[in-house]
Amino acid sequence: MWKKIWNWLTGKVNAYKEKGTAELDAYWKKIDAALTPGGGTSATNAPPIVVVDPTTPIADSQPTAQDAVDEVAFSSLKWTCGGFKGGGANLSTPRIANLKVKGTSGLSLKWLVGMADWGLSDGDAGALACFFCERADGALSGGKIDWISKSRGSRDFANPLSGYGGWTFSDVKNPAKAAFVVISRDGRKRSNVIAATWSR
């Protein structure tokens, strides 16, 4: 008797499995047909499945020293004043922004990233403040006007107005395009270049 009961139960289970498998196969065929252009079955036309590993770190979106962050091309700056040639400097980590030129009194800027990577503390004026302005011939020429530290958000024009290092504003357009960049003492590294319109 127990054998008959066992055989009956086994038959029911097998029939259920076969029915369930058939229904499942039919279901997947419908899905595949809906996803395949023109109907039918095609694994190559199925949408790709992207698996994201949750342990994979997300890339840092912060700017790096190689980012193109110059407001005017560094290569366009002409080093004609200030007794220093910084045209060979490479973009480094310091970041500056918001250049404002105030008549002939001077300029101001905002520091975003300081010069710690250059070995300079916030109060260490060990880098060169370099200013450029648009001349009558259209060139952006200039050069060093002073030393600068991260704690100094402005520089005056006392040196350029005194003729320091061949400086003169006599042929500067009004208004004129102006640019500013910070260069390391050895001339090898620089900040990004910031720019503004200078009206006097």
The tens digit of pLDDT for each residue in 121-172 reads: 999 999 999 999 999 999 999 999 999 999 999 999 999 999 999 999 999 9
Q: Rounded to whole angstroms, what are the CA distances from 38 to 26, 34, 42, 43?
A: 18, 9, 10, 13
pLDDT at 113 (0 to 100): 95
Local structure of 200: helix, strand or coil: coil
pLDDT at 97: 96
Query: Hey, what domains does the chain have and what are their CATH numbers?
Result: 2-45 (no CATH), 74-198 (2.60.40)
What average pLDDT does the segment 178-193 reach? 98
Confidence grade of residue 66 (pLDDT, cut at 50, 70, 90) = very low
Higher pLDDT, 42 or 131: 131
Helices (H), the chain: 2-35, 158-161
Q: Which two tokens stand for residue 128?
A: 């060169």
DSSP 8-state secondary structure symbol assigned to residue 124? -
Instruction: For CA atoms 42, 44, 46, 49, give the dihedral sign.
Output: positive
Which range is least confidently modeled, 15-24, 26-35, 40-49, 69-78? Answer: 40-49
Does pLDDT of 20 surpass 70? no
Q: pTM higher than 0.75, yes or no?
A: no
Reply yes or no on whether the pLDDT at 48 is more than 60. no
Q: Hey, what are 16's tokens?
A: 């259920």
pLDDT more than 90, % of the chain: 65
Alpha carbon distance 87, 179 (integer Å): 14
CA 174, CA 197: separation in Å to the nearest integer?
9
